[in-house]
Amino acid sequence: MSSAHQQFISALDNIWPVIESTWDGSICGGSSALSYIGSSSEAAQVRTTAKALAAADAAHPYTIVDFVPPATPNANRQLGSGTVVKKNTSGANVLKVENKQSTDVVVSLAPANSTAAVLMMYVRAGQIGTAKGIHDGSYNVFVTSGSDWDTGARSFTRDCEYRRFTDTIDLTSTSRQYTVETLTLGAGSDGNAFVTPSDSGSFPT
């Protein structure tokens, strides 16, 4: 019994660094964190030693709740390029995003005097997305990139990065003309610059 107990305690100690490693920024969503932890060799050791401890004393069997997440593969949820995640604007202008990066992105527009996005559009790596019907105005442009898009949370769950353009974009229209704003992300960029926000909380949703 003593040996089984010590092995179980040791397994619990070993899984803590695995949990801590999910805080380094490469994992930024709960579902990916659970998958990472549950699929680790340390989690498997906790399960094994828990079963051994439960069976160590046949006369007084333990019941140990399986509190370790199950081993599951990483999800890789994606939307189609040009999918509008959010739209709270109407007008004549058009936003075109050419994503030359190796990761999917979501581009958000927020009025220059607001922290709420009026448009969020998903664009896959190496593809182009287009959103129509945007109202006249001056907009801040925000870009988040990563893997595995969580629609409910409106965020990626792995390898998340948050950036914004240093300059606003101006969309204007008349009865005869309208703006088609093209943004190129990644290799071969047209010169649009980024700065990194201090944290993900600055990204408008």
Q: What is the pLDDT of residues 43-66, one digit of tens each?
A: 888 888 878 877 776 766 666 667
- Average pLDDT of the residues in 137-148: 94
3-class secondary-structure state, position 193: coil
pLDDT tens-digit map of 10-21: 877 888 887 777
Tokens of residue 52, six digits: 């051994």
What distance in Å separates the CA atoms of residue 95 and residue 115, rounded to the nearest whole number?
19
If we measure between CA atoms, which residue out of 66, 53, 69, 64 comes closest to residue 19?
69
If we measure between CA atoms, which residue out of 29, 130, 104, 148 comes closest to residue 119?
130
Residue 72, pLDDT score: 86
pLDDT tens-digit map of 86-125: 999 999 999 999 999 999 999 999 998 888 999 999 999 9
What distance in Å separates the CA atoms of residue 96 and residue 106, rounded to the nearest whole number?
12
Query: pLDDT band at residue 189, thresholds of 50, 70 and 90?
Result: very low
What percent of the chain stands above pLDDT 90?
46
Let me know: does 86 contact 131? Beta carbons within 8 Å: no
| pTM attached to this predicted model | 0.82
Residue type, 90: S
51/78: higher pLDDT: 78
